[in-house]
Amino acid sequence: MSRDLHRLRATFDRAAASYQDARPDYPAELYTDLLEITRVRPPAHLLEVGCGPGKATLPLARTGFRITAVELGEALAAQARLRLAAYADVSVVTSSFEDWEPPAGLRFALVYAATAWKWVDPRIRYAKAAALLDPGGHLAVWNAEHAMPADFDPFFTEIQRVYEEIGEGHDGPWPGPTPEDRPNPLVAEFESSGHFTVAGTKLYVWASRYTADEYLALLDTFSGHIAMEPAKREHLYREIRRLLSARPDGRLTRHWSATLTVGRRR
């Protein structure tokens, strides 16, 4: 893992109190598809890698699964325990996935990571996930990313100029590919790991509306914005408020995409 990734993955703990409300929920359809592809049923034991405050833990806990959730950040783990206190079969462990060791002989039907897999050391993640799975068990990875469909809100082109001014511009051509045209690198990763065969993938795209306050609260949960120099962040946030104040309803539309990738242990 690069030094930048290792440094940035620790920043999320600073957003522990706001992360759950600021970040969008994953589509209900995603969980339905996950269970259909894996054929995992309660009360199977699941392992979540990087649970944060429990964004993807709660929907599966409500279904009746036993879950062990591993979370690097102490404040995020505390938030997760608070939100999951009603579920006796859910436990939250404060640790990195790389360092965590389960009790001897413990194995899981499903290992999953929601917007967390990229933060796990690529030299370790696939081999360790496979070693923790039952024979024929599954690894599922999904995310929540900024999507740029053909009809994306022009606000993002306007604010991109500000990002460029402060030296935080978008990598590559603008705008990026549409969700449907964006490649899924995890397919090749799963297969080349030698531990998994891809069992299914699916793309989900949705849109959310944000006021200026809501959008800035969202940005405050992104590692790059948390770690941004204060003067840059203050200038950026002023410009966001200025642009949105010129709109009749003061809101923007942000599109999201999530790609579910499921692999079966070889």
Q: What is the pLDDT of residue 170?
A: 86
Domain range summary for the chain, segments of one domain joined by +: 3-148+178-207+256-265
CATH code assigned to 3-148+178-207+256-265: 3.40.50.150
How far apart CA 232 and CA 170 sit, in angstroms, is 15
Confidence at residue 1, expressed as pLDDT on a 0 to 100 scale: 61
pLDDT attached to residue 7: 77
Could you give the angle at the alpha carbon of 71 between the alpha carbons of 135 and 46, nearest 5°? 25
CA distance 83 to 232: 34
Show the tokens assigned to 214.
């809501």
Q: Which amino acid is at 37?
A: I
Place of tokens 């793309």: 203
213: exposed, middle or buried (C-beta count within 10 Å: 0-12, 13-18, 19+)?
A: exposed
> What pLDDT score was predicted for residue 231?
97
Total residues found in the chain within this entry: 266
Local confidence pLDDT in tens for the 266 residues of the chain: 666 776 788 899 999 999 999 999 999 999 999 999 999 999 999 999 999 999 999 999 999 999 999 999 999 999 999 999 999 999 999 999 999 999 999 999 999 999 999 999 999 999 999 999 999 999 999 999 999 999 999 999 999 999 999 999 988 889 999 999 999 999 999 999 999 999 999 999 999 999 999 999 999 999 999 999 999 999 999 999 999 999 999 999 999 999 999 999 99
CB atoms within 10 A of CB 69: 25
Task: Give CA angle at 107 (105, 113), nearest 5°.
Answer: 140
Q: What is the pLDDT of residue 200?
A: 98
What is the gyration radius of the CA atoms in the chain, in angstroms? 19
Specify the 3-state DSSP secondary structure of 221.
coil
The Cα 170–Cα 152 span in angstroms is 16
Q: What is the pLDDT of residue 171?
A: 86
